[in-house]
Structure 1
Amino acid sequence: MRPIQLAGTQVFLLGLISIASTEALLLSGTAHAPVTDSELSAFMTSLWSADANKASSNEVQTNIQSHTDSNSTVDRSPQRLFTHVDESLFNRSTYAAFIKLLDNYNHELGHAEQSTPQEESEITHFLNEISQTEVMQKTVHFLREKGYIMSAWSELETLIRQIWFTFFARHAHSHIKDSSAFEHVFVGEYTQTIVEGFHNWIEFYLQEKAGNLNYLGYLSVHQPNIIGVHFTWQGRLKKFNAIIYGNSPEFDLAMYTVCFVLRHNRKCSFQLDGHPVSVHSFDLDRDGVKFIGTVYVDV
């Protein structure tokens, strides 16, 4: 075994890399340039500006209705959160590829996840589509400039596959590989009583439209397009959640990936379109291997 070092954290490679570990995938011996909050702000704002697939205010509209608190079980917002979404957005290549991934998972924790060849093909298609966007091209350039990858998209793709799409046991007492970072963050999971993860606006809209999700009210509102929400999904309660809406799938993936790589287990703070934003990410240790436990916009 050979150790890889990143930001004071050590992890071991076990033969061929097949684990969702950022440290294991960032090249050994590469000099990582420090990234200041101001540099991160400039990068994130450039991503926001470059997000050609971001929805306009006419394409996505919300009705936040009434304020609530995280312990309430009262529906204080009887209308849907999303009053209008122009679904022609979903014909755009990255949205269409993203949405195909959403039904590939068993939402209930404790049940082992399995990936079929078709589902693997859908992941590949999604990654191929986002690789062609300016958002991902800028992300490759930034991580290369700062010494986290050496060359091209293929390295970032490998990193994304490992830290987002590798299955692992969500809870430490279990050996059942019932979760992945992508499922937790972008799709959502639940136990018998509570919702875990679920930080994506597209999934929120689709589940609300299908009648599976009941928006109970808002907890906070921040710019740009960030809402702290309280809801039930499939009869389970999510006390507090934050979503940033209207942005493309590639933007979310780039923002969360960069924050996890640069600032995991601590606050990732930056300015986005002139507004302060914080992203929190945490890793999970499973038998000495670190996985993305979660990553989300803080409010």
Structure 2
Amino acid sequence: MRNQWTRCLPWMYNKVPPLQDVLRVETGLKKKRLNFTAARAEGVNREQSIMAARFCGVLALLAVFLSGLDASRPAINQELSNIFNELWTLDVNRMTPATDYTISVQGRANYVTQGSHVVTDRASQPLFSNVNEIKLQNITTFTRLMKLLDNYERSTGVAERVTTEEQTEMNLFLDAVLDTEVMKRAHRYLVSKGQSNSNLRIFKNQLRLIWFNLYHRKRNSALDSSGFEHVFVGETKSGSEIIGFHNWVQFYLQEKSTHLDYKGYKARNNDLPDHDDHVLNLQFSWHGLVKPVGSAFIGTSPEFEMALFTIVFLMNTERSTTVLVNVDQCQMELVVIRQGRSLGTAYPKLLSSNNRHVSHH
């Protein structure tokens, strides 16, 4: 029987390897399986490591991006916020909303490109419904401010010629501003910071240099501009656009004389400015030209505005400075740009009011 099976199935009997060979082969197979499993595990681990590294890289890039966003917006300057709120409290000449003046913000203005004369009017009525002119004319700094508003050439490129009478009006205005508690407190602050001399006459000359010194807006052109003219009066450039014009009194007077037409407010999303907001972003036309987006304090005294921007100007040395402050429940940026040792421009940019977020300038 064995021989028969041996003939029929030689592989079962004649080809059977010795036991030690079987064990050796089986051991080898186990090692190969173990090596394969280890290699596969190593491959998985390597892939996981690569994916983890990539994920960490993405997180690192995201962190850098977010930190860049944080760095792009300045932190709130608490020291300046404190002094500005002091000045706000001291500003007894500030006009009171709904009592001394009433505004009607009406519709939200459309987007308009700089230099365009085509604009949709979203406000059929003036911005200022009424202003208590009797009170305005009984406050010295306001009356002396208004005397200065017609002393300037509207167009840049046209030389400014200051008459003796205009020089006197400027000095009287500065004297009135320096006599207010607002500017007195600003002066003391600047002296404490080593930015101004305690001598009042020297400080007055410093204000004159910052605000009233004439310079040229374009190189090799006439002495055609000053910080005061640009901020408080407004200018036109190349006959095609409005520059500056950040004062509410000038806005009211020009609107009353029909030289200015309010087109609507500027805000983000569906925010509607309050009637008692003391900073507004707005759109208007002036002598046929359009200001796509402008901004101004509303109701504040000229001494308050001059004090704020003078402090920002003197406390920084950069050509362009933006400080983030909280003033009377409003978060805003104050922007100041230099023109040598004088002021090029200065304006507020309302960011939020009573926890409402609004658009930038």
TM-score category, normalised to shorter length = 0.7 to 0.9
- 1:166 has 2:213 as partner: yes
2:225 corresponds to 1:182: no
Q: Which moved more, 1:74-83 or 1:63-72?
A: 63-72
1:73 equivalent among 109, 119, 129: 119
Q: 1:181 to 1:234 in 2, by over 3 A?
A: same
Return the alpha-carbon distance in structure 1 between the equivalents of residues 341 and 169 of structure 2: 25
Q: Is 1:85 the counterpart of 2:131 in the alignment?
A: yes
Map of 1:109-124 to 2, 5 A cutoff? Answer: 109-124=156-171
Equivalent in 30, 33, 41 of residue 81 of structure 2: 41
1:272 matched residue in structure 2: 327
Assess if the C-alpha contact under 8 Å between 2:197 and 2:203 holds in 1.
no
Which structure has the higher relative contact order (CA within 8 Å, separation 6+)?
1
Unpaired runs of 5+ residues, structure 2, are 1-75, 113-117, 268-272, 351-361
Unaligned runs of 5+ in 1: 1-35
> Paired residue for 1:99?
146
1:152 paired with 2:199, answer yes
Alpha-carbon distance change, 215 to 224 in structure 1, aligned in 2, over 3 angstroms: closer
What displacement does 1:290 show?
4.2
Instruction: Assess if the C-alpha contact under 8 Å between 1:168 and 1:180 holds in 2.
Output: yes
Once the two structures are TM-superposed, the CA of residue 224 in structure 1 deviates from its matched residue by: 4.3
**Aligned to 1:167, what secondary structure does the other structure show?**
coil
**1:91 Cα offset (Å):** 2.2
Q: Is the contact between residue 242 and residue 286 of structure 2 (CA under 8 Å) also seen in structure 1?
A: yes
Which residue of structure 1 aligns with residue 179 of structure 2? 132
Quick check: 1:54 aligned with 2:100? Answer: no
String of CA shifts for 1:36-75, please: whole Å, max 9, x gaps: 9211111000000000100112101100000013316011
Contact 2:157/2:221 (8 A) holds in 1: no
Give the alignment's Cα RMSD to 1 decimal. 1.6
* Count of matched residue positions in the alignment of Structure 1 and Structure 2: 259
Amino acid at match of 1:53: N
- Deviation by residue 1:193-234 (Cα, 9 ceiling, x = unmatched): 111100000000000000000001110348841111111000
CA contact (8 A) 1:224 1:272 kept: no
Change beyond 3 A, Cα 1:236–1:248? same
CA distance in 2, matches of 1:134, 1:65: 35
**What secondary structure sits across from 1:283 in the alignment?**
strand
Per-residue displacement from partner, 1:155-200 (whole Å, max 9, x unpaired)? 221111011101111123x421111110000000013111110000
Task: State TM-score, norm by structure 2.
Answer: 0.69
How many angstroms does 1:151 deviate by?
A: 1.0
Matched, 1:236 2:289: yes
Contact 1:54 1:246 in 2 (8 A): yes
Output the CA distance in 1 between the equivalents of 2:254 and 2:330.
Answer: 29
Counterparts of 1:219-298 in structure 2 under 5 Å? Answer: 219-220=266-267, 221=273, 224-263=277-316, 264=318, 265-284=320-339, 289-298=340-349
Match of 1:212 in 2: 259
Q: Secondary structure at the match of 1:296?
A: strand
Q: Counterparts of 2:84 and 2:202 in 1: how far apart (Å)?
A: 20
Within 2, Cα distance between the matches of 1:51 and 1:294? Answer: 22
Flag the structure with higher helix content. 2
2:34 match: none
Partner SS, residue 266 of structure 2? strand
State the shift of 1:119 in Å: 0.3
- The structure that has the greater radius of gyration is 2
Quote the Cα distance in structure 2 between the aligned partners of 1:74 and 1:274: 32
SS in 1 for 2:324: strand
User: Percent identical across equivalent pairs?
Assistant: 34
Q: Which runs of 4+ in 1 moved over 4 A?
A: none
Q: Name the structure where strand makes up a greater proportion of residues.
A: 1
Among candidates 189, 196, 205, match of residue 142 of structure 1: 189
Q: Provide the TM-score with structure 1 as the length reference.
A: 0.83
